[in-house]
Each structure stands twice: as structure tokens, then as C-alpha cells.
Chain A
Amino acid sequence: MFKGFGILAAATLTLAAALPAQADKLDDIIASGTLRCAVVLDFPPMGSRDANNEPIGFDVDYCNDLAKVLGVKAEIVETPFPDRIPALISGRVDVGVASTSDTLERAKTAGFTIPYFAFKMVVLTKDGLGIKDYADLKGKKTGSVSGTFEALALEKDVKKWGDGTTFNGYQTQADVFLALSQGQIDATVVTSTVAAAIVKDGKYKGLMMGGDAPYDIDYVALIALRNEQGLINYLNLFINQQVRTGRYKALYDKWIGLGEAPDLTIAGVYR
């Protein structure tokens, strides 16, 4: 009797010890009861803070939705653009809901889902500088958030134009707007959603739209660790369900609301 119990106990212990080793990130999240999302909070309307300093925005709601279907509590971890990967690698967050452009260069490092949002780029400038479209940026002082999709595209054109055109890369979107409103730079290229939000908000005086930027559409994806296929699989299905159930459209209307929500698919290819 006692001997049998001993074997049983040993077997249970072995099993219990073996289980966590097999658990993947998805299991870990469910077991821990908390989903920690990296969200950029100076990127309205995707992420920002309300009057009570609480995180709000499309990405915040998106994280909450994800936590709900996982049956866990959401924890929003404010993460500036350059810190998204260190936050993921160091285990401070489980997923990045942070408008991350899915470049092939980055995909060597991070695991990307299918796109969950898409951005169009516009020029944002100041009253009275006479910048009406993208071509007017030639010879002007420009700037953007260092290393972002639009910064890379703009910097490439600035180098091509030469002729006194300058580019400054800032660390945060807030610094770009501050520099623009103070006249340190004449124009920036940002996502149309951010531009609309910042012009409407009126916190920075005299900002105005300066036409569309002729860039490709910037598809952004959720990110997780590259080897967490189980989690990425779940996230892909979640994104699919968000669109299917109409939740994507609802969130788009709530936070952006400029007509149709952008199409997340590209005709002619899978994914």
C-alpha cells in the first residue's frame, strides 16, 4: 500500500515536473492568468492616454479583446517603438500590439502574424509653409520617428533629393510633433490616422495635412517571439475572427472613423 502510494506520488511528481517543459507561450499565458501586451502610447489613435492617464486606443482595445478570448486579464505595458523587441525577448511582454510594420528584415528576428491593420501615409506640415504635396518637401527640413516604415521611405527620398533637404530621426512620435510645431522641422510623414488625430486634437497649434505620401500601404502585424508558432497560430486566427465578427470594423469606427476600414488582404497572394 505505502509502496504503491510512493510510486504513484513519484509518477505524479515526474509528470508535473515534465509538463511545464512542454508548455509553450500560449499555455504560459493561459496558466498565468495575464496577457501582457506591448503597446505604443504616443501614437494616437492606436495608443495614447486619456485625461486620467489611462491607456486608450485601437491597440489597447485590441489587446483587451485578445485577453478576453484567452480568458485572462490584459496588462498594457507602455513600450516606445525602439523597445518592442527587447521587451519581447526579455520576457516583459507576451505579444506586441504595437503597429509593427511587417518588414522581411524584422521578420528575421520577430515572429509576425497576418496584418491586423494597414496605414496610408500623409504629409503633416504647418500653416504658411506652402507645402501642398509630397514633392514640395524637396529642400525642406523633415523628420520622423527613427527606423519606422515612413522614416525609411522618407530618408531614402531625402538622400535622393539632396539640395539642402534634411532628415532628423527622433525617438518618439511626440518629439516629432513637438519639433514640427516649434519649427525645428518643416514637415513629417506620418500615418493618416495619426495625422487626423493630431490635427483634430489641437494640442499642437497650426499643424495641417500636406497631401498623401506616395508610399506602399504599410501593413502592420502583431508580434511574438519567432519560435512561438503555437501562439502566432492563435493570433492569426484571432485576427481573422476580429474581421469576420465585425469587431475590426467596430474598432475602426470607434477610433479612426474616416469611412471604410482598410482592406487587410492583397489580391493574388495567400496570407
Chain B
Amino acid sequence: MNYTFHWLPAFRAVPDMLAGALVTLEIATLSMVLGVFFAILLAVGSSSNYRALRAVAISWVELARNTPALFQIYMAYFGLGSLGIHLDSFVALLAGITFNNAGYLAETFRGGLRAVPPTQMRAARSLGMGQIQAFRLVVMPQMFRIVFYPLTNQMVWAILMTSLGVVVGLNDDLTGVTQELNVRSFRTFEYFAMAAVIYYLLAKFVTASARLMEWRLFRY
């Protein structure tokens, strides 16, 4: 081994890395909120009677699920940039991850919707609820119960995807901060090891909070 670990100077970088982790969490959370919103539209849209709506929804889901997230983020920045639309790095990364999230979540929601028996809708309508009201008050809550686990999974995935922001010039998220510390001092292994631990803890934190939320939300 021709490398001696310098842990002490590396530990001094922890506050900077935690500040980066906060940006990471912020992007991931925003992308989940937006992703869920678009995914519901996509899930409804892909079974819509309007052909154009169906086409848009299906192509979104197909593209999001069958091309690398890296390309989606790269396209949001440099692809749109070549058309003269300039998103800054933060927005481009957010757009890329949201696009990806929405695609995966749409499929999850579609599965969730199909798992809610159609009789629920009929029962709600027979009680005098409107279509949208019945969907919102009866079908959606049941669907969310079914898709909650995959949703948590997607949130963890979103956190990990934020690391791709470095390719579009984002340098204040966890990976960006780490990469800059790395090039500045060449202490690659210490910084990457610490970043890995922080990502791990972020992911665990998300899973744990999801458990807590689940327990609060879904008890009878």
C-alpha cells in the first residue's frame, strides 16, 4: 500500500460536506414532490381516452425508464442549452431527476391504481360522490397505502441520483463538494469514503422517517 490515510484534515471538511448533503436532500425532496405530482398526471394520462394525452404520457414513461438518468440530466442542461434555453445547474439537475422520478413513479401508481378494486369507485359513486371527489377521497388514499414502500425506495434513489449533478457543473451538493475537495488536495479516498458514509446515512434517515410516517399514517 502506497497511501497513508490522512483522516484528521479530512474530518475538518465534514461541515462543508454536511452543507453539501443539505443541498442534496433539498434537490431530492423537491424532485420527489414534483415527481409525485407529474406521476399522478402520467398515470391517469396513460389510461386516458384522449389519444394525444396518452401518447405524451406513454412516451415520457418510456423515455424516463429506458434511458440513463445521466443522459436525462445532461440533456436538461446541455441539450436544452443548444436550443438556447438555459437552466442553471441546480434546476437542470432537478428537472432531470424529476423527469426520471415521474417516469418510474407513474408505473408504480398505475400498478397501485389497478390494485384498488373498481368496486370502490362504484361504491363511492353510488353514495353520490363525483368522479374526481371519489378518486380523491376513496381511491387515492388506498393507492397511497399500496405504493408507499416503492415511494420510499424512489426517494432513496433520488438522493443517489443527485450525485450526477457534477456533470452539469453543480458544485455545492455532496458529490460536488467532495469532488472539489478531492481535486484540491488529491486525498481522494478519505473524502470519497466520508461521502459514501454520509450518503448511506441520508438513505437510512429517509427509510427510518418513512417507517415513522407509515406508522402514523396507516394505523387503523
Which residues does A use to contact B, with CB under 8 Å? 81-82, 84-86, 89, 103, 105-106, 108-110, 143, 146-148, 152, 166-171, 175, 178-179, 182-184, 225-227
Q: Which of A82, A110, A166 contacts B179 (CB 8 A)?
A: A82
Cβ B167 vs Cβ A175 within 8 A: yes
Residues 66-80 of B, flagged 1 when their CB comes within 8 A of A and 0 if not, give 000000000001100
Q: Which of A105, A106, A169, A227 contacts B180 (CB 8 A)?
A: A169
Beta-carbon nearest neighbor of A110 in chain B: B186
Is B184 close to A, CB under 8 A?
yes
Complex Cα distance A85/B189, Å?
A: 10
Which residues does B use to contact A, with CB under 8 Å? 2-3, 6, 77-78, 81-82, 84, 86, 88-89, 166-167, 169-171, 176, 179-180, 182-189
Name the distance in Å between A205's Cβ and chain B's nearest Cβ.
12
Beta-carbon nearest neighbor of B6 in chain A: A108
* Consensus secondary structure, chain A interface: mixed
Cβ A179 vs Cβ B169 within 8 A: yes
Cβ B2 vs Cβ A89 within 8 A: yes
Beta-carbon nearest neighbor of A106 in chain B: B186
Name the distance in Å between B18's Cβ and chain A's nearest Cβ.
19
On chain A, the residues within 8 Å of B180 by CB distance are: 146-147, 169
Name the distance in Å between B117's Cβ and chain A's nearest Cβ.
50
Beta-carbon nearest neighbor of B171 in chain A: A169
On chain B, the residues within 8 Å of A82 by CB distance are: 179, 182-183
Which of B77, B84, B183 gathers the greatest number of chain A CB atoms within 10 Å? Answer: B183
Cβ A105 vs Cβ B167 within 8 A: no
Cβ A182 vs Cβ B184 within 8 A: no
Cβ A146 vs Cβ B183 within 8 A: yes
